[in-house]
Amino acid sequence: MDSGSSPVAKDFCSKSPFAHLYKRKGANWKAEIRKNVNRRLRDSRNNLIDRFRLMNVQEKQVFLNNVIKEELNKQCDKQISAEELDEAIKEYEEFRQELLQQELDDMLKAEHDFILAEISHYFDSDDVYCPLCQCSGRLKGIGVADGLRGAVVISDAKKEEETNDEQCRNWLKLLF
């Protein structure tokens, strides 16, 4: 007989309705612990490798910084001749002129686009205004409620129209 299969153990397991849960549960927690240990080992290994990788990156960065500093120090130690200085100034001025020209071209293009948009808006509009009223800005705001009742705005618009008609007639009399 097996040591694990005694008649007393079989009787106990068969009588206990929860015995199968305990036995199965035991195997699961062991597997979970194994998984967690393996995961922690893998993570710590990855952290260690990453640390070594970062050390290499940092060493390379320090090396590059040292090389750049040495080159800059060599350049600073050199005496710059007047010809080299004049040449550098000319390059700077040419670059500056190119940037200014490009900025000017961009501004002119934007202004041209704005004017074209205004002209197209003017010709697309169906509204016809008296030139005098349009220049003086008298018709601005007519038709905008500004929080007032619609009837008040309409009556104001009618008053403006009557005043406008009178002024336009007087203006035409002066011209002809």
Residue with tokens 């130690």, as numbered in its chain: 77
Q: How is residue 102 written in tokens?
A: 């490009």
Structure letter (DSSP) for residue 78: S
Tokens linked to 80:
């710059």
Instruction: Please tell me the distance from the alpha carbon of residue 41 to that of residue 91, in angstroms, as a whole number.
Output: 60
132 vs 141: CA distance, rounded Å: 16
CB 144 within 8 A of CB 153: yes
* Contact by Cβ (8 Å): 145, 153: yes
Q: Which pLDDT score, from 0 to 100, does residue 32 have?
A: 82
Q: At 25, is the pLDDT very low, low, confident or very high (cuts 50, 70, 90)?
A: low
Residue 132 neighbours by CB under 8 Å, 6+ apart: 167, 168, 171
Is the predicted pLDDT of residue 161 greater than 80, yes or no? no
Residue-wise pLDDT tens digits, 120-149 = 776 776 555 565 555 555 555 554 444 444
- Give the percent of the chain with pLDDT over 70: 55
Domain boundaries, the chain: 1-78, 80-126, 128-176
